[in-house]
Chain A
């Protein structure tokens, strides 16, 4: 009945774990991440920043074009949204690709998302509105797309503040609950992007579709886990509520 080529664990019916790969440079996972992957992702995450800076100052042949202010503002905003999306991809990718250790990169990616959102807001205040705080206030209060974007920025602040190991320990299971705010941040980010567009909303709609996939994955998984838990408990769920786990 079973295919000899594909080892199946008869007990669980799930594919067996593949044999562990040979340690890369004889480093264990912990060191590989600390010494190689994390620094590499850190440098890669700074590439958009370096590109924006080179464009602004006309270095290395890059140019911010005729309207550098709009260029920096829009490109930085899009980079911020991209980092929010990359952060949200960590959980599905590590599960679907069987790379559980990817979790070790998630905090850094999330903090870079916050960095680019903060930079986007700074460009808006400093370069676009030139410190006209009256207009900044009026925009946030009266311009819905700015209200939405600013709210997303505010919601990211507690997430960045509670990203340390100490805060994670202190908050315990509340940490997971709190950090589910990032789903709202992502939705507000896409909404902000959609709403500022004058007419051509094709790109924001692509972002919305990808976000629907990323959030849909979590909803389906949570629902399945709940169902499984209900079945094993014979209708009386003794398993942990699914929401505790699926935000991990």
Chain B
């Protein structure tokens, strides 16, 4: 049994408008005790820094169980502490703790997202307007970093497919490109010299990858607003790809006809490709990808085999049929 895309009854879905009324919603949410899910269960022990709670459709229990069955491993979600204190976000520094230490410099209110390129509807949108039409869903996904560590994370977001369809991409839209905010005054890593990466950070997906039901545009974590260090206010999650594909703090979405550049590929083309599908059989030139270390698992029980497409082969393998995955790494 494999992970299934959650099927959610319309009645379960609360509109995303609550997201824009975050402060006033807080009290009601606490009173009503909404969002009874694994993520929300963790929310009870969150630190004071956690954002306001969101309303969302919980990840159905059966697909959470399926996550475990696919790997035969313990797939207990990681803690808030782990997810928000250990990650890569080079705009805030290259150490795993740097994002948590420096991300408070970023102001995420009054956020704009530009939609450009091969689509009928384009323009500059306030984040509130950008997100308004959608209902939020919880998705508990494995997260596999290209550095061979992994977590299980309860995200809250919107399937990218439903988001993109609204802009009516034309037949020439073969790819979708994303761009992170460029603001050295708010992001110390962007002003470091020599530059660690070519800024701003860019990522891209093939249109069929972007439209896959697993691909998620994330606004929350553990049933709460996304903290800055994890890519607030808007980030991408593509669970069958290495973590660096999940571009953070997105300000631009562009439909393109040709394959867009992606930052890690530009920086080190022989080590990081465009596809970056999790693949235990294709090693990084300097280290193996056959196994991974699950952060937070007990010592001596952290190392576990990496699954093809991070355990989501049933949902995504068809898209790469006939492709040489060694060449298109």
Contacts and interface: CB of A to CB of B under 8 A. Distances in A.
A65 B85 contact: yes
B288 A139 contact: yes
A135 B73 CA distance: 20
Contacts of A144: 286
B286 A196 contact: yes
A132 interface: yes
A143 B196 contact: no
Interface stretch (A6-14, A66-74, A173-181): A66-74
Interface residues of A, number: 24
Contacts of A145: 286
For B194, B267, B287, the residue with the greatest tally of chain A CB atoms inside 10 Å of its CB is: B287
Contacts of A69: 293, 299, 302
Contact of B147 (A128, A130, A198): A198
Interface string B57-93: 0000000000000000000000001100110001000
Give chain B's interface secondary structure class: loop
A139 B290 CA distance: 11
B286 A67 contact: no
A69 B268 CA distance: 27
Given A139-B288, A143-B286, A198-B147, A67 B299 contact: no
Interface in A213-236: none
B161 interface: no
Contacts of A142: 283, 288
A116 B296 CA distance: 25
A168 to B, nearest CB: 39
A199 interface: yes
A49 interface: no
A129 interface: yes
Contacts of B303: 128-130, 132
B162 interface: no
Contacts of B302: 69, 130
Given A198-B147, A199-B267, A65 B291 contact: no
For A66, A144, A202, the residue with the greatest tally of chain B CB atoms inside 10 Å of its CB is: A66
Chain B, interface size: which category?
20 to 34
A65 B295 CA distance: 11
Contacts of A143: 286-288
Interface in B205-260: none
A141 B296 CA distance: 29
B296 A195 contact: no
B300 A67 contact: no
A127 B301 CA distance: 9
Contact of B295 (A66, A128, A129, A200): A66
B94 A65 contact: no
Nearest to A138: B288
Interface in A63-102: 65-70
B300 A127 contact: yes
B42 interface: no
Contacts of A132: 291, 303
A144 B300 CA distance: 25
Contact of A127 (B86, B149, B283, B299): B299
A149 to B, nearest CB: 12
B97 interface: yes
Nearest to A195: B286
A12 B284 CA distance: 61
Contacts of A65: 85-86, 96-97
Contact of A199 (B196, B288, B291): B196
B81 A66 contact: yes
B82 A66 contact: yes
12 contacts: A65-B96, A66-B81, A66-B296, A67-B96, A70-B96, A130-B301, A130-B302, A135-B288, A139-B288, A142-B288, A143-B287, A199-B267
Task: Give the 7 A-B CB pairs with smallest separation, nearest first.
Answer: A66-B86, A200-B94, A66-B82, A130-B303, A200-B196, A66-B85, A67-B295
Interface of B: 81-82, 85-86, 90, 94, 96-97, 147, 149, 194, 196-197, 267-268, 283, 286-288, 290-291, 293, 295-296, 299-303
